[in-house]
Amino acid sequence: MNFQPLFKPKSLAVVGVSLTNDRHPANVIFNKAHLRYPVKVYPVNPRAGELQGQTVYKRVSDIPRKIDLVVIAVRAEFAPDVLKDCIHAGAGGAAIISGGFAEVGNTQLQAKMAELARKAEFPFVGPNCLGIYSPPYVDTFFLPSERMVRPETGNVALVSQSGGVLVDQMVKFANEGIGLSKAVSIGNKALINELDLLEYLAKDRKTRVIAFYIEGFKKNEGRGFVQAAAKCPKPVIVLKAGKTAGGQRAISSHTASLAGDYEVFSAVLKQFGLVEARNEFELVSFCESLSYYNRSVEGRVGIITPSGGHGALAVDVCSSFGLTVQKLSERVQNRIKQRLSASVRNIASLVNPIDLTGSAVDRDFVVAAEGLAKAKEIDCAIILLLPYSPGISSDLGARISQIFRGTGKPLVAYVPHLEKYRMLIEGFEFNKIPVSPSIEGAILMMEALKRCRPC
């Protein structure tokens, strides 16, 4: 099947628009596409008529041009006939937004649509989903533009059975400055499933990291997905729901999936070198880290901080994740000490974490960063910066970033995310260094690099 019309459509038909209710989901999608995206959009309703000066067609086959992508937002019982018409019209693919299928026990109707599409090699996502967000081409989410939070365009693709979880992750991505290449809500995944999208995204030039929110699989789907993910040349991150009996019941009523044995699935992911996020917080941290770094680490961490308390907290969190914060050699410590400012030379602790104290200035952080960048006993570093320290400037992030970019050792920064500290944060981000607003988040980013096999 050709997925190109789904993600880069030049023409779009929205089936199910209302001629009287502008808040209908189909109308929201139509208005968004018509006003904000470079796609020619056509409204479809069996009654025909006019909508915002546009001709409303009775059927997709009545539109006087071939349609790349059709959004189907009609009652479930009408969906198969609409799908037949799309196939007859030679459309490229569809996003079936409508609910009322397997998730409510209507399995035969859903199976009928899948069989129709499979015979015609006609790709569709859904039903019971939000569909496709593929900047700058299309957005089929039935969320008003003024309520949507869109991350910057980037290199992480998100695939989710839940539309709500997907939109939540987009909000978190936007807050953390993580760029998104594509987002797909697959709902009941009657035809296109995680494996299909994994194979497509593995070849997508705009995507570097592929993240999945998975509720469950059909029989024998999970094994194929894991095997393909293990061979994927890009990092694959999985957040799995259904860890408890209650969660499994919720999954069955949400998208009619089989949750399966979570412990077995988690063990298999680990065995094949795939990164499992235990919750949404980890998913965000992992996506950010792996979108910047395309390599793995052993997890021998060097830490720089102006606060002993922050350093101690970081060591505890590192230990809980199996990352090591080992003592720096006397040689490395002496090399750093000799170059520190006179005001901190005799009060800084250089064992690891390197605690430069609140009296440190930019040069002290640069000296410590250069020392860690050359130290053989560490293979990655975390810097905990407190922007309110009186001796540091807003240029420090950029200066430290350039040191580590020259060595290839991964660096992650912790900086509180407040607008007044934006220049310091941007110094890291402009130089491709990930920044977390929490100590745990920064360490999770490094944990992702440890758990991800080399790509």
Q: What is the CATH number of domain 295-451?
A: 3.40.50.261
What percent of the chain shows pLDDT beyond 90? Answer: 85
Give mean pLDDT, residues 311-340.
97
Give mean pLDDT, residues 434-447.
96
Span of 168-172, 220-224, 396-400 with lowest mean pLDDT: 220-224
Give mean pLDDT, residues 331-345.
97
Give mean pLDDT, residues 193-213.
97
pLDDT classification of 218: cutoffs 50, 70, 90: confident
Give mean pLDDT, residues 65-93.
98
pLDDT classification of 455: cutoffs 50, 70, 90: very low
pLDDT recorded at residue 249: 54
More confident of the two residues 14 and 407: 14
Judge whether 369 and 403 are in contact, CB under 8 Å: yes
CATH 3.40.50.261 in the chain, residues?
Answer: 149-292, 295-451
Full DSSP string of 363-430 = HHHHHHHHHHHH-TT-SEEEEE--TT-TT--TTHHHHHHHHHHTT---EEEE----GGGHHHHHHHHT
Strands 49-51 and 138-139: unpaired
- pLDDT of 350-391, one tens digit each? 999 999 999 999 999 999 999 999 999 999 999 999 999 999
Judge whether 202 and 185 are in contact, CB under 8 Å: no
Beta bridge partners of 138: 134
Nearest alpha-carbon partner for 125 in 192, 208, 173 = 192
Amino acid, single-letter form, for residue 248: Q
pLDDT classification of 453: cutoffs 50, 70, 90: low
Give mean pLDDT, residues 399-419.
92
Q: Distance between CA atoms of 442 and 436, rounded to whole angstroms?
A: 5
CATH 3.40.50.720 in the chain, residues?
Answer: 1-127
Nearest alpha-carbon partner for 17 in 78, 72, 62 = 72
Q: Structure tokens of 98?
A: 């409508």
Is the domain spanning 149-292 CATH 3.40.50.261? The answer is yes
pLDDT recorded at residue 239: 96
What is the rounded average pLDDT for all residues in the chain?
A: 93
Give mean pLDDT, residues 38-61.
96
Nearest alpha-carbon partner for 451 in 247, 273, 292 = 273
pLDDT recorded at residue 315: 98
For tokens 């894991």, the residue is 226
- pLDDT of 77-86, one tens digit each? 999 999 999 9
Q: Structure tokens of 122?
A: 């006609």
How far is C-alpha 414 from the geometric centre of its chain's CA atoms? Answer: 20
- pLDDT of 272-297, one tens digit each? 888 999 999 999 999 999 999 988 89
Residue 254 pLDDT > 80: no
- Give the architecture-level CATH label for domain 1-127: 3-Layer(aba) Sandwich (3.40)
What percent of the chain shows pLDDT beyond 70? Answer: 96
